[in-house]
Amino acid sequence: MLLFALTVFFTIIVVRNAWITDDAYITFRTVDNFINGYGLRWNIANRVQAYTNPLWMFLVSLIYYVTREIYFSVLLLSIIISLATVWLFVSHLTVNAINGILGVAVFSFSQAFISYSTSGLENPLTHFILTVFLILYYRLSLTPGRQDKLKNIFFLMLCCSLGTLNRMDTFLLFAPPITYIIIKNRKNSWLVVLLGLAPFIVWELFSLLYYGFPFPNTAYAKLNTCIPQFELTKQGFYYFINSLNWDPITLFIITSATLYSLVLFSKNPRNFFVAVGISLYLIYIVGIGGDFMSGRFFTAPLLCSVVLLGRAQLRSLPYGLCLLSILLILGLSSSRSPVKIDEHFHGKGISENGISDEHGYYYPFCGLLTANRDRNMPTYAHVKDGEKARRRGPRTVVKEATGMFAFYAGPDVHIIDLFGLGDPLLARLPVKSPTDWRIGHFYRTLPVGYLSSVTGNNFISDPSLAKYWNKIYTVTSGKLFTWKRFKEIFNFNTGRNDYLIDEYCAREYHVFKPYKLSTVKPEGTSWNAPGVVVLNRHGIGIKIDRHDIVDNTFSVSLNGGDKYVIAYYKKTKEIARQQLDVSQAPSGRLVHWQGMICPEALDNSFNLIRIFPVSGSGKYSIGHFSLKNFSIVKNLSEINKAKIEGTPWNEPGNIVFKKKGLLIQLGKYVYTEAIEISADNNDTYQIIYLRDGLNIGTSVVPKKKIDYGLSTRTIDVPGEVARQGYNILCVTPLDGDGIYSIGHVRLKN
């Protein structure tokens, strides 16, 4: 009776929240083409795997073949699978009724789990397979001599194989428990393991043969972005923060159950290895930058965490009721709690970090409770746009959001997806802007001539990219069984064709030799004066040889009023970047920026620098760039020990140089109004004050003649410089005998 009541409660909430997201229709387009005899293709002109969920795709195809209707069929399928998952959990994975109630409460109050128990995505099937896997995992006997042990290991591996086939990254959840079982059953188990993995192995071989690649095209589109790993990791943490803000119960349960199981390894090693799988998956989520769909990637680890909760031995009924009270408070505290949703539900939209409430956004157009017999579902505007495109007949269309539009446009409309999800060429090109991106939405620039080349003749203007497209076309549209195609499949999967993309990118932003930009332009030079390089949004590249890097500093002049990025590359991989902000300087005139090369770039032997604008006046330009700037770089603490007047100019500890000068890092913004400096008595120097590399003022250090050696001078800092604050000093010679020396530099109040 309790099992029935819990299942009914969960059913009501799932049905009230049921919906279909636009992204699901990316898979549905392949399903439609497959059932209508065009093969497993997104565009019928080429073989491209635009879906990440082969097992779900085949299951939906089976239902679609029978019903020839997608919206209600997939919703019903998802609801049935989700109910089966909860029923299996309560009946097979809980140790008592309290644990069952707590588990169903978590499922019901978790916005993420309820939202993606339908949605049209593969999550319900992942939940079901994980549940069956964990039932087998906890039931598998480790007692030596059991005759049924190998059979159970086979079914355990089969679940792992099917789960990975449904979504490849969930292998991280399966791997630690599988490893534990294999270690405990080392003898005679390897053949069984391979047999269990057979479905996934067969699919990978088919994918390599049919598509030419082992991974979905979406993986190449989302992982081949040239966005620094640090930026993706930061975005991954934003994904966690978003979940805590919008759906606190989900991460609370995941964190609590995982930490509890990791700490109590000795009491229950099986729980420990499930918790290790959850931890690996969470690390993976951070590493890839999370997702643009709030909570979507947390549903599978949540299910595993609830199973850990379901198997916990609660001390007493009051203890269980206390936990249930906490769950109720967390679950009902959110304005978007699943139990509060009705047909008028509308969500929060998109957060400032690009993470969206997909369920709330699409529910008014795609929610089950909004359906009625007077209109077809879904009612989203892209459906009508797609139907209109279908009526216009065969054509090529360039689109951004390609789910519902693509499905309803039909097979005769070839769609170029600017995010690259369904396009084999764009998926392998760098993103349009390495700074202006949203997670999961990485725009590509449409190459000149590509629009006319997608279905036949090659009109791409860039010679390297044209050659690359010919090779892609051979793999994705050529005859399946030819040696030429097999050769290109090998070349693509071993990186032997990547040089063509490198050549294309080098032309996309013009690459200079350093000497071409070495002539320093005076500050105040017009942004488009002769000799100044005017930039487009791609900026420029500067080819660097190892002998060009004489120290860890650089100098550049840029148009004021703008923000730029300097990115360092090793071959085609970006390894570091830093922002050059000259937005406070007057626009239309060059300003100088002195800076330090990123340590990560120096450590990784960069060979290309790219400078490109990210915002500003639109008058983007660069006057000069030089790595040969300062011969010596010091921290202030290294040179602030006072030297007495008359100290020999070449005494050990003094800084001796000829032309290029000294750069002093202060370590923080300082606002002192005077500087004490000891320098060779018969030379004149200039102090340049920098704030994060931007020149904000200068002072002259005049000669102070004494009989011999260093003389000490106190220099007033310009008032405006002291008010703004500065964190770098550059000391350069203006006049003297050609050999210059600095004894010490101290800040004075």
Tell whether the model's pLDDT for residue 326 goes beyond 60: yes
The pLDDT of residue 570: 81
pLDDT tens, residue by residue, 351-376:
878 999 999 899 999 999 999 888 88
What are the DSSP calls for 238-269, one per residue? HHHHHHHHH-HHHHHHHHHHHHHHHHTTTT-H
Average pLDDT over residues 304-322: 75
Average pLDDT over residues 463-486: 94
**Two tokens at 118?**
């339908």
The pLDDT of residue 1: 64
* Mean residue pLDDT across the chain: 87
State which fold the 509-626 domain adopts. Answer: Jelly Rolls (2.60.120)
Cα gap 316→332, rounded to integer Å: 24
Cα gap 677→714, rounded to integer Å: 6
How far apart, in Å, do the first and last CA atoms of the chain sit? 81
State which fold the 632-748 domain adopts. Answer: Jelly Rolls (2.60.120)
Cα gap 733→685, rounded to integer Å: 4
Confirm if 252 and 295 have CB atoms less than 8 A apart. no
Q: Per-domain residue ranges for the chain? A: 2-140+213-340, 381-502, 509-626, 632-748
What are the DSSP calls for 372-419, one per residue? -TTS-S---HHHHHHHHHHHH-SEEEEES--SHHHHHH-TTEEEEETT
Cα gap 637→745, rounded to integer Å: 9
* Fold: same for 509-626 and 632-748: yes
Confidence category of residue 502, pLDDT binned at 50, 70, 90? confident
Average pLDDT over residues 583-609: 82
The pLDDT of residue 578: 86
Confirm if 622 and 532 have CB atoms less than 8 A apart. yes
The pLDDT of residue 142: 63
pLDDT tens, residue by residue, 429-458:
988 766 668 898 888 888 989 998 887 789
Tell whether the model's pLDDT for residue 347 goes beyond 60: yes
